[in-house]
């Protein structure tokens, strides 16, 4: 069985090279070849000795996820369905814009948090992705989009990159897969790998407060928080993890995070659901709720998916909501919906998940017997196999 080098950070790769009797500079060479040039064949690594190349070809490999579907939307948004084995496939989305290209990366096969308006949450949960499977999405996107053309070891000019920004906003809760996500982000930030700045890597969380504090100390990148409600009663319904970490605790964690963050604010994401959380009264309450935190509000019109039970807020409701925030001197923007014709928009990523939580089965039983749902908090607190 070969050893996959794609997910090894600088320290682990240096240690691996040491087991082969090689100097630390070999790790730097391998990082360049894998992540700056996209080379997966050791025979093409021309500044490495032939003896080492032959040994690596026998003992190691550079292997990313297998792409099983590649879809392009009418607006140029591109979505890849990637096979990660054991009956699971994850989705990765590239959003091209005039001055940047943003890659939305998944961290888990499914999600255990079961936010009510999210297609991923409906799929259930199978497992965490490995570092190689997470960074492999960026590696593949660069290869597919031509960033490695001619094995060009270009400098780190963000404006010249095809993928200039990475957002951990795909399938899964990134902070529930803390070690692997941080390992992948450290590769994104490493100047000998992708060399992205901390401002250009954003992690989105539903609010796992202890993990937010850990991230602050370990790898503080730009932070986005899925808020979606101005009070605990409503957020308990939409984002059930709020029952464990209520808004007051979440906001306090945001204030602590900013102390070491690359930006002096946190982005609050707020999906607008017709008749649920989009009234002027909700907007006014939100103004009061977020006062303690330097922030930007990113309003997201709901992107429908089958049997969601929610509708998209009307444009006039979105405008009224935003205007309340702007009049209160908050920075508020409305996210442009991208890729919804190929189900690549925010909240629509579903992939293919072999669900260990048996969520679909339980939902069918609830619909038949009108039972209350099993809270995802139960899964988190009991150490269920589904969230290990």
Catalytic residues: 91, 346
Q: Do 335 and 298 form a contact (C-beta atoms < 8 A)? A: yes
Find where tokens 């579907």 sit.
Answer: 69
Are 103 and 119 contacting, i.e. CB atoms less than 8 angstroms apart? Answer: no
**Token pair listed for 135:** 């960074």
Is 62:2 a contact under the CB 8 Å cutoff?
A: no
Q: 4: which strand partners?
A: 61
Among residues 38, 61, 57, 60, the alpha carbon closest in space to that of 49 is found at 57
Q: Which residues pair with 126 in a beta bridge?
A: none
Task: Give the distance from CA 215 to its chain's centroid.
Answer: 14
User: What CA–CA distance (Å, rounded) separates 107 from 197?
Assistant: 20
Which residues are CB-neighbours of 12 under 8 A, at least 6 positions away?
A: none
What is the side-by-side strand order in the sheet with 78-85?
66-72, 78-85, 88-96, 101-104, 165-168, 201-205, 222-226, 266-272, 295-301, 331-334
- Compute the chain's Rg from CA coordinates: 21
Residues in contact with 121: Cβ distance below 8 Å, sequence separation at least 6, in sequence order: 111, 113, 114, 115
Q: Rounded distance, CA 71 to CA 343, Å?
A: 10
Evaluated on CA atoms 235, 238, 244, 245, the torsion sign reads negative
Give Cα 370 distance to the centre of its chain: 33
Strands 331-334 and 295-301, by their bridges, are parallel
Tell me how far apart the alpha carbons of residues 198 and 262 are, in angstroms, rounded to a whole number. Answer: 6
| CB 353, CB 360: distance < 8 Å | no
Q: What b/e sequence results for 24-43 when a residue is b if at least 16 CB atoms lie within 10 Å of its CB, and e otherwise?
A: eebbbbbbbbbbbbbbbebe
């Amino acid at each position: 069985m070969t050893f996959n080098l794609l997910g090894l950070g600088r320290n682990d790769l240096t240690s691996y090279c040491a087991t082969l009797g090689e100097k630390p500079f070999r790790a730097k060479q391998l990082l360049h070849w894998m992540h700056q040039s996209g080379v997966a064949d050791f025979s093409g690594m021309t500044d490495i000795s032939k003896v080492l190349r032959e040994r690596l070809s026998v003992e190691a490999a550079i292997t990313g996820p297998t792409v099983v579907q590649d879809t392009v939307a009418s607006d140029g948004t591109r979505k890849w369905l990637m096979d990660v084995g054991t009956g699971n496939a994850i989705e990765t989305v590239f959003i091209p814009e005039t001055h940047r290209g943003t890659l939305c990366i998944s961290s888990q096969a499914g999600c255990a948090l079961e936010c009510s308006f999210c297609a991923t949450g409906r799929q259930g949960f199978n497992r965490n992705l490995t570092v190689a499977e997470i960074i492999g999405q960026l590696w593949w996107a660069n290869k597919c989009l031509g960033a490695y053309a001619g094995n060009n070891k270009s400098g780190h000019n963000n404006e010249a990159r095809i993928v200039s920004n990475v957002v951990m906003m795909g399938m899964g809760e990134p902070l529930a897969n803390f070690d692997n996500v941080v390992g992948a982000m450290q590769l994104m930030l490493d100047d000998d790998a992708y060399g992205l700045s901390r401002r250009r890597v954003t992690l989105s969380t539903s609010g796992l407060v202890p993990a937010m504090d850990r991230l602050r100390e370990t790898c503080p990148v730009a932070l986005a928080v899925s808020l979606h409600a101005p009070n605990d009663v409503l957020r308990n319904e939409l984002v059930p993890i709020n029952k464990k970490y209520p808004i007051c605790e979440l906001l306090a964690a945001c204030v602590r995070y900013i102390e070491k963050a690359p930006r002096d604010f946190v982005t609050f994401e707020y999906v607008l659901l017709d008749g649920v959380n989009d009234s002027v009264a909700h907007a006014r309450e939100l103004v009061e709720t977020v006062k303690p935190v330097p922030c930007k509000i990113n309003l997201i019109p709901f992107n429908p998916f089958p049997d969601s039970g929610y509708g998209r807020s009307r444009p006039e409701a979105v405008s009224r909501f935003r205007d309340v925030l702007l009049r209160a001197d908050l920075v508020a923007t409305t996210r442009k919906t991208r890729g919804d014709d190929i189900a690549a928009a925010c909240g629509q990523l579903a992939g293919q998940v072999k669900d260990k939580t048996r969520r679909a089965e339980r939902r069918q039983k609830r619909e038949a017997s009108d039972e209350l749902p099993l809270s995802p908090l139960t899964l988190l607190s009991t150490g269920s196999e589904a969230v290990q």
